[in-house]
Amino acid sequence: MELSKAYDPKQVEDKIYKLWQESGFFNPDYLPGKRKKSYTIVVPPPNITGVLHMGHALNLTVQDILIRWKRLQGFKTLWLPGTDHAGIATQNVVEKELKKEGLSRFDLGKEKFIERVWQWKEKYGNIILEQFKKMGSSMDWSRTRFTMDEGYTLAVKAAFLHYYEKGLIYRGKRVVNWCPRCQTSLSDLEIEFKEEKGKLWYIRYPIDQKSNIKNQKYVTVATTRPETMLGDMAVAVNPKDERYKNLVGQNVVLPLVNIEIPIIADRLVDLEFGTGAVKVTPAHDLVDADIGFRHKLGIKQVIDERGKITKDAPLPYQGLSVLEAREKIISDLQNLGLLEKVEDYIHQIPKCYRCNTTIELIPSEQWFLKMSAQGGGLAEMAIKAVKSGKIKFYPKNFEKPYLEWLKNVKDWCISRQIWWGHKIPIEGSEDVLDTWFSSALWPFATLGWPSSAKATEGKAQKNDLQNFYPTDVLSTARDILNLWVSRMIFSGMEFMKKIPFSRVYIHPTVLTKEGKRMSKSLGTGIDPILLIDKYGADATRFGIAFQIMGGQDIKFLEDNIMMGKKFCNKVWNASRFVLFQSGQNKIENAKSAFNSKNLTPADKKILKSLEETIKFIDKSFDSFEFGQAAHRVYEFFWHDFCDSYIEISKKEGGKESKNVLAFVLFSSLKILHPFVPFITEEIYQNFPFKDKQKFLMVENWPK
C-alpha cells in the first residue's frame, strides 16, 4: 500500500475536493444511475458581510451529512448554495470601510455608494463560499444564487406586485422603530433590548384651574423618558383606579408646553406601576399610539429622524438631541417645582441590532404587508402548515414559539430607508425592501420562480421547480425561526401553493465552554477555518457532529475536534492494515468479497455488528440525531472493528477473515463518509475492488 503512516489532511482535502468538483456529481443532473426521487436542501444563505463561524460550520456539517447520506442512498440530491445581500448589515460594514477613508455614504452619493457595495460583494461575498468548500460541502456550485442577482430581483418584484395587487400591501403612517444612525425603520425583530440603568422621574402635571377639584393641585406621572412629554396628548389612568376616578374627563396643563390635555381612562394602564397615572405620547410610544388612536388624541411628533427635537416642540428645546433635551427638561421642571422625585430604575432599552444605537419610536410613512392570523391571511397559512403536520419541527418544542409569534403577529413593515437592497417597485418610492422579504422567497426563487418572468435565465435549470420543490429539509439556527422560517412558509404557500419544506431542523447553538454565546466583539468566538487548518475538515466535522445531542446547545470543546483527528488517524491506519492484507489476498470484488459458508463466530459477530450499526445510523440521521450516529459509528469502528475483530483476525483468523476484513472496511467507509468525506474518499480510491464506483461519494449505501 502507498498510504503513509500518519494521516495528513493537508495532503488530501483540497485534492479530493477538486476531484469531486470535476466529477460533476455535486450536480443532480450528472449523478450516475437511475435516480427518480429527489432530495433537496437549500442552504441558509449567509450574509455577505460575514466569515464562517461555528454556527455555520455546524449547520454545514449537518446538511452535508444528510446530502451525502441521501446521495449514497440513490437520491437525486441537490444542495443549493448562495449568499444573502443582507441590506442593513452590509450597508453598515461598507459604511465602516468608508469611515476609515474619512467618508460617509452621503459624500459618495447613492449611485457611487451602491457601486461600492457591489465591489464589496464581489470581493468578500465569495470568501464564504470558498469556506463552504473547505468544509467539504457537496453543493452544486452551478446553481449558486445571490439574493440580488438578476433573476432573483425579478422574483422579488413579482412577489411584491402580487401582494400589492391582492391588496395585502399598503402604505401608512405608523409609529415605527427608527434607528437614528442607520436612518431607517426597523422591524420588531431587528431590535434588541439591552438592560440599562436609568431613572424614573415623577413629574407633576398641574390640574387645570377651571376644574372643580379640591385638595389636589397635581397629577403626578412617572416616566423614564421625560423628553417625550413635549409631545404628550393626554394623561391616562386605569378606569378601575379609584384614586383618579374623579379626575377622568378633567384637564391638566402640560408643563413647559403650556397646553391643556385631557385625563382619560384606558385599560392598558397598569394600576401598580409608578403612580398609576401615565403620560400619553402617541407619536413616540407604541402603547401610547394605541391609546391615542382609540381616544382620537391626535399626534404631535417632537423627535425627528435624526433623534433631534422638532419644531413642533417649544422653542427652547428645538434642535436639541434627545439626551440634551432630557437634561434641560429635568432642570426646567426642577426650577418650576414640578419634579416630585427621582428613582433609580433598571429597564430594557431598545437598540438597533446592527449598530447598537438606541432606537427611537417615531411616526413615519412606511409600507406594510398584512399578516392576518385569520380569514386565510398569510399568518394563518403559516400556522395551518405546521398545525396540520405538513411541516414538522425538530425538535418539536419549537412549534410553540413559532405558533405563538404568528398568532400575535402585527403587520410586517417591509420598507427600509437605506440604499442597499431591492427597490420597492412602485413609482415615486425610494425605499428598499426589508432584506427578509427577499430571503422569504429563497426556497423557490433560487429554483427559478417565477418562470413566467424569465427568472430561469442563468443559473437555474428549466425544470428545477418541478424537480426540486418542495425541498426536503431546512436546517437553520433558532434565532431566525420567525425572522426567516415563518416567512418562507407563508411565502411558499402563497406563491407555490405548496409548503417550501416538510421538515425544519433547528440545530443546536454553539456556545463557549462556559455556556455563553460566542461573540466576535468579546473575542470568544472560534474560527472553524483555523480548526480545519489545525486538525483537518474531517476532524472538525466529526468533532462537531459528535457533540450534537438532541436539541441541546453545545458547549464547544476543542478536545472533541482533537478526538476527531485521532479517529481519522485510526481509520487511516486500520485501512492501511486491511488493505495490506487484502493486497496479499487479491480480493477483486466487493459483492462477492467472502464466502458466507466458512465464517468463524468472530466473522459473524462483526458482520452483525456492522448491520446493526447501519440500521442505527439510518434511524439516527432520519431523526437528526447526528451525535448518536457519530458515537455509534465511532464505537463500532474503533472498538468492535479495530480493537476486537482486527486483533482476533491476526491471531485466530478464519478462512474468510481477510476477506471479511476488507468487506467490513469497505462498508465502513460508506457509513463514515457522510461524517468524514475526505479521508474515506482517499482510502476508497486506494481500494483494490474492481467493481467499485468512480467515487465513494456515489457508491451504494449498505443495508
How many angstroms separate the Cα of 208 from the Cα of each of 249, 348, 462, 529? Answer: 11, 34, 74, 69
Out of 107, 122, 260, 479, the residue judged to bind RNA by CB under 7 A? 479
Out of 445, 646, 665, 698, the residue judged to bind RNA by CB under 7 A? 646
Q: Between residue 243 and residue 272, which ones bind RNA under the rule CB under 7 A?
A: 268-272
Out of 37, 516, 604, 608, the residue judged to bind RNA by CB under 7 A? 516
Closest CA to 590 of 509, 668, 512: 668
| Total of residues contacting RNA (CB under 7 A) | 72
Which one of 59-67, 309-317, 491-499, 510-518 is the stretch in contact with RNA (CB under 7 A)? 510-518
Check binding of 526 to RNA (CB under 7 A). no
Enumerate residues 6+ apart whose C-beta is below 8 A from 114. 419, 420
Check binding of 612 to RNA (CB under 7 A). no
Sign (positive or negative) of CA dihedral 12, 17, 23, 29: positive
Q: Between residue 84 and residue 113, which ones bind RNA under the rule CB under 7 A?
A: none
Closest CA to 85 of 94, 96, 77: 94
Which one of 19-27, 56-64, 95-103, 277-285 is the stretch in contact with RNA (CB under 7 A)? 277-285
| Site string (322-361) toward RNA, x via CB under 7 A | -------------------------xx-------------
User: Helix 399-407 crosses helix 486-495 at what angle (to 10 degrees)?
Assistant: 70
Which one of 22-30, 101-109, 112-120, 276-284 is the stretch in contact with RNA (CB under 7 A)? 276-284
Instruction: State how far the Cα of 676 lies from the Cα of 567, in Å rounded to an integer.
Output: 10
Nearest CB to RNA, comparing residues 149 and 266: 266
Check binding of 373 to RNA (CB under 7 A). no
**How many Å separate Cα 295 from the centre of its chain?**
40
Nearest CB to RNA, comparing residues 31 and 257: 257
Out of 294, 643, 686, 694, the residue judged to bind RNA by CB under 7 A? 643
| Site string (116-155) toward RNA, x via CB under 7 A | ----------------------------------------
For 393, half-sphere exposure in the C-beta direction (CA atoms, 13 angstrom radius) is: 26
Instruction: State how far the Cα of 342 lies from the Cα of 339, in Å rounded to an integer.
Output: 8
Check binding of 591 to RNA (CB under 7 A). no
Phi, psi of 86 (to 5 degrees): 50, 65
Say whether the peptide bond before residue 395 is cis (omega within 30 degrees of 0): yes
Which one of 155-163, 278-286, 660-668, 685-693 is the stretch in contact with RNA (CB under 7 A)? 278-286
Q: Compute the least distance from the CB of residue 434 to RNA, in Å.
A: 15
Check binding of 429 to RNA (CB under 7 A). no
**Cβ-based neighbour number of residue 390 at 10 Å:** 14
Check binding of 686 to RNA (CB under 7 A). no
Check binding of 585 to RNA (CB under 7 A). no
Dihedral class, residue 423 (left if φ above 0, else alpha if ψ from -120 to 50, else beta): beta
Q: DSSP labels for 569-616?
A: HHHHHHHHHHHHHHHHHT---STT-S-GGG--HHHHHHHHHHHHHHHH
Nearest CB to RNA, comparing residues 18 and 650: 650
Q: Between residue 212 and residue 231, which ones bind RNA under the rule CB under 7 A?
A: 222-225
Q: Between residue 392 and residue 411, which ones bind RNA under the rule CB under 7 A?
A: 397, 400-401, 404-405
Q: How many residues does the chain have?
A: 703
Amino acid at 345: Y
Which one of 26-34, 282-290, 305-313, 492-500 is the stretch in contact with RNA (CB under 7 A)? 282-290
